[in-house]
Each structure stands twice: as structure tokens, then as C-alpha cells.
Amino acid sequence: MSDMHDDLHIFISRHARSYDSASDTYRCPPYAQSVKASKSSPIYKAHTYHTKVPPEGIVPYIEHYTDPGDLVLDPFCGSGMVGVAALMSSRNAFLSDLSPAAVHIARNYCTPVDVATLHREFERIKAEVKEEFNWLYGTVCARCGGSATIQYTVWSDVFECKRCGNDIVLWENSEHSIVEKDGEKEEDTRLKCSTCSSQWRKVQLIRTYSKPVFTDYECPNCKPKRENREISDHEKALVNDIEGQDIPYWYPNDNIDPGREMMRHGLLKLGFKRTSDFYTRRNLRAFAALWDAKSRIGDVAAASIFSFALTSIIPYISRKQGYGGGGGGLSATLYTPSLHKEQNVLTVLERKMKKILQQFPLRKFKSDFYITKMSATNISVVPSDVVDYIFTDPPFGQNIFYADASILWDSWLQDYTDEELEIVCNDRRQNGLFKTTQDYQRLMTEAFREMNRVLKPGRWASVIFHNSDDSIWQSILEAVDQAGFELAEINAFDKGQLSFKGVRGAKGLERVTNKDIVLNLRKPAPTHTNRSNGHSDQLQIEQRIAERVADFLATNPSEEQRTLQHLWNHVLFDMLRNGSVEIGMAGVEEMLKHHYQTFKLIDGRYYLRGESVIGGNVFDLRSDSGAITWLTSLLSNEPRTAGDLIPLWQQETAHLGGAASGRLEDLLEQNFWQDKRTGRWRLPTTAEREKMSAREDLGAQAHLRVVHRFLEGKLDYHPSDIELAAWIRFCYNREFFSEAADLFQHTNQGVLDSEEYKAIKRMATVSRMRAGPDEG
């Protein structure tokens, strides 16, 4: 499709019907179901992108809110999954995005192609590059001495020993240096110098260069065909030969602004300055040869899909691809691992083309689409009140820096994302172009206003969002409200397969949320009054959230549902329904820690304090659940004092390097009952477990937490003197004397009633005396 505005006007005139309030009969309730869609469908996996919503999950929304032939808009189209879903549903789609890479990917996802022509052109290109690729990836089989083809070469970072200055090759320390295990970082990674035998943590050393160390190849004459070995002298000489030659094809060699957000995280220290630095010399030459061959494909659609296939493999053939890591490295980053897997470019492309030839048969959609590069803050080319439905996945604040993450795609397309218009929070960026949360909200408000303008009255916009920061959520809600939308319903959207961060969050290792939220927004009809998203009282928020978590844990959820990640999802739904997100995931974590009388954290999972924790390994006291099981086995026989338990505990934990200070005491306090008369610990009864969880004191705990946040300067508003007086009375009656005395310092005698002021002054005086010198 052309990007010319004349073509857009033709598209709009064909597929948009003007709104007429007199004849409009549209009535549709909000979509009110959760959706789960897989990331493993063939269409989804055809091309990687930083964030993608499976089209099968979008289809139910489109079919609920629209009729066949209606016009669907996505102004943050990304990889174009909304366009695919609309075409699957016989709806027309208008797609736009600020990113050139996104427009390239989305256009090819939605454009039909003649598979026979594409297959024929690919076979021609393979023949054209055959001789050069035989040289680039040619080797000698160690078994038969015949010609073989390199499938991948492992490159290892080399570090300088801080003691003797000699090389420390990461690969030679591989049994000690695997930096990830089941998605968890090994914190005590050690590298040993083969010259002086000194040992260092990897983060202590300076990387000097990388070198090829290991080869996996395929021999057509041997069985099995695949074999691997330490890199041979022939292969070392080949690498040196390739690196000594000029590349005879064009390739992007553009300077990268060192102030970019993603460049500051290690890449500058590794010497990355230009777009070509993200490839080995061999793979850069191989990919450039294929990119050059693309220009000789006569069929426009086939050439476009071939470039789509090429850009789809860039993460896999660049230095982002790790050895032993996931395909294409960590998504939405420019992270380059210390052990890089340099894959045969043509082999990777052949696998990708096979999938595309299977997944992109000649399609005959009854509907149409239009796509253009455009900022969502200004889609003035689209008339007002013509769009029937919007489904969009806007930027997530500071989670992803799209312009940075797309730079490798943009470099080959020679069209870079306009950072000035990018809607992100990147206030740590250097050399300007940085944006604060306020800038993010301003730009999102502009985008939502444009969406509201082009959407027909009474119609719906579904916005899928994902963040654990309350300030970002509040920015979205404020933008929605200021744009004139009404938040009518929220749904969960489960993409199934978790990202790397999602996996860590599910294990309780990282403060991230794993499920997206869909905000169902309605543009009010002329006769409808929009509701404002209000703010709840801080004390009510604290108590409501604590009670929400406590109620959920009382249902005895599964282990997977006890993570901070999952509890945040429950809390977020509750806040969204009340129209304001005033606490983030970090705040929920802090709140749960404060409510230690009600909640406890065991191995990354939350429980009510009196709740029984089962399933631990009695022989593994490294985990809290194992230690609780061990203590349960002892105390189920007879009650014991702490003095009885300490020697046994020290004996059992000696092989762990000693027990952490206070750990035994904390485990006893949180999970067992102490007889006040004898001082012995035992298993609690059901009634005692209820008492241990202190559910009835949640309101008081929440109130005290708000007081503490105010006194620490962390509360985002200043309470009135009347509120302060009430807080002083609360603290005094609960015997929180230090807090009562401190609060009095913030009151204003001239505002309060004289009798009230005298009363709280007396309370403050008594509180200072009762608090004592250590507390007050």
C-alpha cells in the first residue's frame, strides 16, 4: 500500500462511514471477558518485535465491538497484529506507527504474496551467493577430511587479569562461568586466570576483545552429519582472512549516539560505536550480500517479503544471539552476551523462509488495510468521527525504549525513528531528547485526544497496557480522562508464554507484572456525561489494598499465585475499578513488608502470617520452606524453647556457612506459637493461626503506615491540621507515642479549635515522656 495521503483519502472514502447522530443505532456493552492467547502461533512467530499481542486474542474484541466492513484503527501498530486480526475478521484496518521498522514489519504481515514467485526468487538468490557462502562458512571435517559447512561458531569474551595482565578466556572457565541458570543470575560467578591462578568475579574485570573458540559443523559424507570441536587452525585463519578484507557490498555503518538510553548499559564499555559493531565481520558480509541480492528481485511484493524475512533474522545472526540462551537474545534490548553464537546466516534464513512459505500462502482477504509512518499524537489526515473501533498497545513508559531497540532494523532500512516524537520516559538519557513522566503523560494525552477525535461517538477503544509503576498507570488514566474517554471495563489479557523478566517475576525474583490489562474506553455519545476518574483517600487505599491481598490469600491460592507479581495484578484491578492507580508494585511490596503482623514472605511467596507453609524439603534449610518443615518436624513431637532449638539449628546450618542473624527467630515468630508461661514454641491451633494473622488490625496497620510515610516525607500530599489532629489521637490511643509526638510538630495552632489544640498538645507531651529518649 502507498503511504501517499491521496491513497489514504481514497481508502477512507471507501471504508469509512460518516457518523450521523440522528440515524445512529449503535449500542454495545463493554467486552467483559478475560482473554488468553498463545505466542506460539505460526503467524505470531514469523517476525520478532519488542511487544506483540497475538492476533487470535484481538479477534474477539474486534468481533464484539464491530461488524464486518467496519474500520478499525491502531495508531501504535507495532508489528501489525491488529491489522492481521482485522483482516482475519473481514474488517478494514488503518495502521500507523512512528517506527520505520514497525511499519515495515506490519506492512508485510498484512500484504498478500505469491508464494511460488517468492520461492523461485529465493532459490535464485541462493544460487547467486553459493560460492561466496561456501567460502565464508567452509571448513574441513575432522573425521573424513572432506569439505564441511560451519553451522555456528562460538565467540568468547576475553578479559584482562587484574593481577598479572594476561588473558582470561571466559570459554575456558565455562564450567564456572555460566551466568544464567533457569532464568536466574548466578551472583558469585568466578573466573580463574590460567597464568597466576587468581580468581575474579566477572564484573571486576575489563573485557579486552572476543575470539572464536568452538565450531559446530555439518559434513555431507559422515553420519551423523553434525559434529563440533574446539576451533581449528584452518577456521582461525579463515576468520583472520575475512576480517582483513573489505566488504564488497553496502552495509549500514552509522554512528550511534552514545547518550542513547540502551547504549549506556555496557555497550560503550564494549567498544560499540557504530551499527556495524553488532555483527561479526563474517556475518556482516554474509547478510550484506543477501541484502544486496534483494534489490534484484523484480516482483515488488516478493522483494518486500524477502526483506521482511531478512530483518526477522537480524537478532539471530547479530551479536545479540547468545550461546545457550534464547533465540535472538533478550528482546527489546541491545544486550550482547559474553558467549556469542555466530550462526550461519544462510542456514538461519533458510529456516525462516521455509516457515514463511508455509505461513504466507496467497491470501484473498475481503477487507483492506492502509499503513503509514505517523506519530499517534497527530493523525490529522484522518477525519473526525469516522473510525468504528480502536485496539492499540501504546508504549509502556520507561519499560521499552523503542527507538533504541529498533536501531538495527532501522539501520538496514536507512530510516531511523524520530526520538523527539517517541512517547517514553527516558529522563536518564544523555545529550538531550530526554523525557520525564510529565512529558510522557502530555504526549499520551495528545495521542488519546486524537483517538477520541477520530472515533465515532458511543464507540469503543481497547487499550492494552503493562506496567508496575503507579506513576505511569496514573499518567495513562489522566490522559484517558483528559481526552474525554470513559473507563467502563477492564480485562486481563494473558499472552501465555512469559518473557525473561516475566519468568523471573513469576519466581518471585523480580518486581515485574506478567499479565497485560485491557482498558475498555468509551467515547461518550452526545447525550452521555463523561465520568471523571477520581482519587481515593490515602487511608482508604492502604486499608483496601491490604484487605484485598488478605482476602485473596485466605482462599488458599496456588504457589504460583502467591508472588508479588500475581498479587499486584489483583491490586491493580481493584484500583482501576476505583478510577485511580495510586500505588505501584514497589509500593505494594513495601506495604506488605510493613504489615508484618498479617503477612509473611517465604521463598518469594506471600502468606498470611498464621498460615501453614507445607511442601518444603526438611533436608534443605537454605530455603525458608525447608527450614519451616524442619522446625515443624521437631515441634510436632514436643514444644521446645529457643535455647533448645538454637544448638540444633546451628548444627544443621553449619554447612551453609552459618545461619543468618535472626533468621531462626523470624521463622519461629511467623509460623509457630509461643507459650508465654513456659517460653516454649509449638505448632499453633487453628484459632491461634487466625490470631497470628491479625486480620482485625489491618485498618490500624494501614493507618500507621500512612503516618510513617508522612513523617518520612514520602506522602504525596500534606494532610490538613484536622487530619493531623485525628492522626495524633489515633497514635496516642494505640500507644504509638513516638509517632504522636512527631506528628504534633507539624500542626498549626492558629488553624485548630483552641480546645482541640490543647487536647492534642497534652497528648503530645505525654507521648514524648512515654516514648523515652531512645524513641523520641
String of b and e for 561-592 (b: at least 16 CB within 10 Å)?
A: bbbbbbbbbbbbbbbbebebbbbbbebbbebb
d(CA 207, CA 339) in angstroms, rounded, equals 12
Q: Give φ, ψ of 56 to 5 degrees.
A: -60, -25
User: Minimal CA–CA distance to 613: which of 622, 602, 623, 621?
Assistant: 602
- Residue with grid cell 466492513, as numbered in its chain: 69
Contact 384, 457 (CB under 8 A): no
Each residue's pLDDT tens digit, 502-557 = 433 434 434 344 568 899 999 998 764 444 444 446 677 777 788 888 888 888 88
Report DSSP letters for 597-651, one per residue: TTEEEETTEEEETT-------TT-TTSHHHHHHHHHHHHTTS-B-HHHHHHHHHH
CA-to-CA separations, 207 to 85, 257, 268, 269, 280, in angstroms, rounded: 46, 22, 12, 8, 17
> What's the gap between Cα 657 and its chain centre?
35
User: In the structure grid, which three cell numbers stand for residue 37, read together?
Assistant: 492467547
Please tell me the distance from the alpha carbon of residue 374 to that of residue 767, in angstroms, as a whole number.
Answer: 63
Rounded distance, CA 157 to CA 402, Å? Answer: 28
Strand pairing of 486-494 and 184-185? unpaired
Residue 372 is inside which H or E element, if any? strand 369-373
What pLDDT score does 237 carry? 98
For 228, the 3-state DSSP assignment is strand
What separation in angstroms does the CA of 734 have from each of 418, 722, 746? 57, 19, 20
Identify residue 268 by its one-letter amino acid code.
L
Q: Which of 567, 591, 578, 571 is nearest to 703 (CA)?
A: 591
Q: Which ranges of the chain have pLDDT less than 70?
A: 1-5, 174-189, 264-266, 268, 325, 361-364, 397-399, 495-515, 527-538, 579, 657-661, 696, 716, 772-776
Q: Note the pLDDT of residue 2.
A: 43
Written as nine digits, the cell of 86 is: 482485522
> 296-313 b/e with 16+ CB inside 10 Å = b?
ebeeeebbbbbbbbbbbb
User: What pLDDT is stored for residue 657 in this prediction?
Assistant: 63
User: Over the stretch 113-135, which tens digit does the pLDDT of each residue have?
Assistant: 888 999 999 999 999 999 999 99
User: What are φ and ψ of residue 115, in 5° steps?
Assistant: -60, -40
Residues 445 and 442: their CA atoms lie apart, in Å, by 5
Q: CB atoms < 10 A from the CB of 677, how many?
A: 6
Cα distance between residue 13 and residue 94, in whole Å: 13
The full 3-state SS of 25-82, as one line of letters, equals: CCCCCCCCCCEECCCCCCCHHHCCCCCCCCHHHHHHHHHHHCCCCCEEEECCCCCCHH
Left if phi > 0, otherwise alpha if psi is -120 to 50, otherwise beta: which for 615? Answer: left
Residue 705 C-alpha cell reads as 503506615
Task: Give CA–CA dist 455/449, Å, rounded.
Answer: 10
Instruction: Give Cβ neighbours of residue 743 (< 8 Å, ≥ 6 apart).
Output: 707, 710, 711, 724, 727, 728, 731, 764
Report pTM: 0.77
| Secondary structure letter of residue 111 according to DSSP | S
DSSP, residue by residue, 312-359: HHHHHHSTTPBSSS-TTSSTTS----SEEEEE-HHHHHHHHHHHHHHH
Q: What is the pLDDT of residue 5?
A: 66
H or E element: which one contains 192?
strand 190-192
Q: What is the pLDDT of residue 361?
A: 60
Q: Which three cell numbers stand for residue 142?
A: 575432522
Q: Please, how many CA atoms are within 13 Å of residue 169, restricted to the half-sphere of its CB? A: 12
> How confident is the model at residue 151, as a pLDDT?
98
pLDDT at 501: 41
Task: Tell me how crowded residue 122 is: count the other CB atoms within 10 A of its CB.
Answer: 22
> Which residue carries 554474509 as its cell?
286
Q: Cell numbers at residue 428, please?
A: 536518564
Architecture category of domain 5-12+35-112+363-522 in CATH: 3-Layer(aba) Sandwich (3.40)
Contacts of 355 (CB under 8 A, 6+ apart): 42, 45, 46
- Alpha carbon 3 to its chain centroid, in Å, reads 32
Which residues, at least 6 apart from 530, have a Cβ–Cβ distance to it below 8 Å?
484, 485, 486, 524
State residue 659's pLDDT score.
Answer: 55
Q: What is the pLDDT of residue 185?
A: 43
Of 87, 81, 95, nearest to 38 (Cα)? 81
The three-class DSSP label of residue 379 is: coil
Angle at 303 between CA 302 and CA 304, to 5 degrees: 90
Residue 610 CA to residue 631 CA, distance in Å, equals: 15
The answer to whether the beta carbons of residues 408 and 37 sit under 8 Å apart is no
Query: Per-domain residue ranges for the chain?
Result: 5-12+35-112+363-522, 116-359, 538-695, 718-775
Dist. CA 221–CA 218, nearest whole Å: 9
Q: How would DSSP label each residue in 675-698? A: -TTT--EEPPPHHHHHHHHTGGGH
CB–CB of 26/383 below 8 Å? no
